[in-house]
Structure 1
Amino acid sequence: MGGAMALTLGALAYPGMLGLSKVSTAPDRVIANTQWGPLTESDRDFVVKVRAAGLWEYPVGQIGLQKGTTKGVIEASKHLVDGHSALDTTCRKIAPMLNITLPNIASPQQEGFVNTLKSESGKKFDTDFANILRMTHGSIFNTVAKIRSTTKNSLVRALADQANDTVLDHITVMEKTGLVDFDQTLFQQTTPPKLPDSDLTPPPPPAGQPEVVLTPPPNATSTPVDIDGLTAGNGGGGNAAPSPSPTVG
């Protein structure tokens, strides 16, 4: 997979203040030049965002399969597990290629969503499930589009393509439950609460901790990006010359 890679900086562990709303102070700053194109702060933060989303939405999908009381919620739960396991496979494959450290647990805010849904049942669960997930997917949709239209890194671009399809699918299945309160959801989506960065930041994994893997379901229909095929004609053999070191501010 990919051969040698020319990174101009050390390990790109995301900093402690990397939140999931405003993720960096200089999003366009190039932090590494790789054989797949320059990597900016926004690129790195996007990979972390996608990983963190799966770390809470995948278990919520599993909860929905157990607690959902309508066909729509059950179907939406299947899509969460299926889609995020495939996205996670792509994230875990490209992260070491780009020297990005991935979290093993979601942010405190995201874990709060999981705990809320764990404590609920019946109609309350179904309704909150559909509205929380419609709100969070709607919030990330614009971020995916921006990354897709601006990144110069082919690996990040491929992840954004996959994330775009997955997020749109999940928005659609949430709406098909018939439980989404659009006025409330769109208000929460466009007017999020002002939380401290610590609530919005997935903590870095302790040194040596095994990487959490989101296992695809037996009947998976979503597929990860074919990174080997993507990189075969794009420096995949490790023959690309290193790019000049970026100026770090």
Structure 2
Amino acid sequence: MGGAMALTLAALAYPGMLGLSTVSSSQTRIIAQTQWGPLTEADRDFVVKVRAAGLWEYPLGQIGLQKGSSKGVRTASEHLIDGHAALDASCRKIGPMLNITLPNVASPQQVGFVNQLKGESGKQFDTDFANILRMTHGSIFNTIAKIRSTTKNSLVRALADQANDTVLDHITVMEKTGLVDFDQTIFNQTTPPKLPSSDLTPPAPPAGQPEVVLTPPPTATSTPLDLGVLGGGTSGGGTGGGTGGGLTPSPVPSP
């Protein structure tokens, strides 16, 4: 089958593939051989983590534009929307190519962050917004570096490059708000609470549910991956086009 992705395994089972915590004792275990290189459990979980991050940080950026009482928080909110729309498009491109089913909602813990901030306003909102997002971006920054330095899959490597630039930008704009308590944030980042895996795992999308698309804002400056330069065919996923700047359902591609 010329140009088609070759997998040594059948479609990867859901929800085991979705764990944002370690789903097995060996994250280096190869679960599929693809034309872009072997795919490990860590590679697979990384793609899911990037998708899940956008599913709560993007809407939180929208909330920040409405509720942020400082220019720094509103600017950071614009960066969240812009950066995660592009990352989302990249995940939706490479997910089908690697036979990875992507979540449509974030994990319960991540949804909890959004619900907390929805209930706040003024200075409290601004402060918690900056510190929560600085903590979460700092946590995944280390994961990106590890994936980038160890993956043998060129699609995952390209996503890690994009995620590295985006997350560093988001860390920087959170710090520029002047609201980050570094002692507390770094403590929370390096000493996370021990939560059950169910709190850290986004739920499986129901069969036939339209795929959620994070559309870029009209003034978008971030761009999705250009898979043409990577070779190996094209994706069945969306391109992330549109100017609505909102969460839009899109038909799930046929198997």
Contact 1:138 1:171 in 2 (8 A): yes
- In the alignment, which residue of structure 2 is the partner of 1:181? 181
Distance 1:89 1:183, change over 3 A: same
Question: Does structure 2 conserve the Cα–Cα contact (< 8 Å) formed by 1:8 and 1:32?
Answer: yes
Alignment CA distance shift 1:204-1:223 (3 Å):
same
What one-letter code is carried by the residue in structure 2 that aligns with 1:218?
Answer: P
8 Å contact 1:14–1:45 — kept in the other structure? no
- Cα distance between partner residues in 1 of 2:97 and 2:41: 16
Letter in 2 for 1:236: G
In structure 2, the residue matched to 1:157 is 157
Does 2:121 correspond to 1:124? no
> Would the alpha carbon gap of residues 211 and 18 (structure 1) be closer, same or farther in structure 2, given more than 3 Å must change?
closer
1:28 equivalent in alignment to 2:28: yes
- Report the AA paired with residue 183 of structure 2: D
Structure 2 CA distance for partners of 1:7 and 1:133, relative to 1, 3 Å: same
What residue in structure 1 maps to residue 209 of structure 2?
Answer: 209
In the TM superposition, what whole-angstrom CA distance separates every residue of 1:22-44 from its partner, at most 9, and x where no partner exists? 34321000000000000000000
Which residue of 223, 233, 247 corresponds with 1:236? 233
The whole-number CA distance in structure 1 between the counterparts of 2:47 and 2:11 is 15
Q: Residue 145 in 1 paired to residue 145 in 2? A: yes
Cα distance in 1 between the residues matched to 2:17 and 2:79? 31
Shift of 1:8: 1.1
Q: What is residue 242 of structure 1 aligned with on the other side? A: none
Tell me the secondary structure at the aligned position of residue 212 of structure 2.
Answer: coil
Q: 1:17 deviation in Å?
A: 7.7
**Aligned-residue offset at 1:104:** 0.2
- 1:57-79 Cα offsets, whole Å, 9 max, x none, are 00000000000011100000000
Other-structure match for 1:168: 168
Structure 1 vs Structure 2 CA RMSD: 1.4
Q: State the secondary structure of the residue aligned to 1:179.
A: coil
- Give me the TM-score of the superposition, normalised by structure 1: 0.91
Q: CA deviation at 1:14?
A: 4.3
Query: Take 1:124 and 1:207, find their aligned partners in 2: how far apart are those partners?
Result: 40
Larger displacement relative to structure 2 (18-27 or 147-156): 18-27
Name the SS of the counterpart of 2:213 in structure 1: coil
Give structure 2 stretches of 5+ with no counterpart. 235-255
- In 1, Cα distance between equivalents of 2:19 and 2:79: 26
For 1:60, the equivalent position in structure 2 comes to 60
Identify the residue that residue 241 of structure 1 maps to in structure 2. none
The separation in 2 between residues aligned to 1:113 and 1:150, in whole angstroms, is 31
**Does the aligned pair in 1 maintain the 2:17–2:44 contact within 8 Å?**
no
SS at match of 2:39: strand
Give deviations 1:53-98, integer Å, cap 9, x for gaps: 0000000000000000111000000000000000000000000000
Query: Which deviates more, 13-22 or 109-118?
Result: 13-22
In structure 2, what residue type is equivalent to 1:221? T
CA distance in 2: counterparts of 1:201 and 1:229, whole angstroms: 32
> Partner of 1:212: helix, strand, or coil?
strand
Assess if the C-alpha contact under 8 Å between 1:18 and 1:24 holds in 2. Answer: no
Q: Residue 83 of structure 1 contacts residue 222 of structure 1 at CA under 8 Å; is this kept in 2?
A: yes
**What is the match of residue 85 of structure 1?**
85
Percent identity among equivalent residues? 84
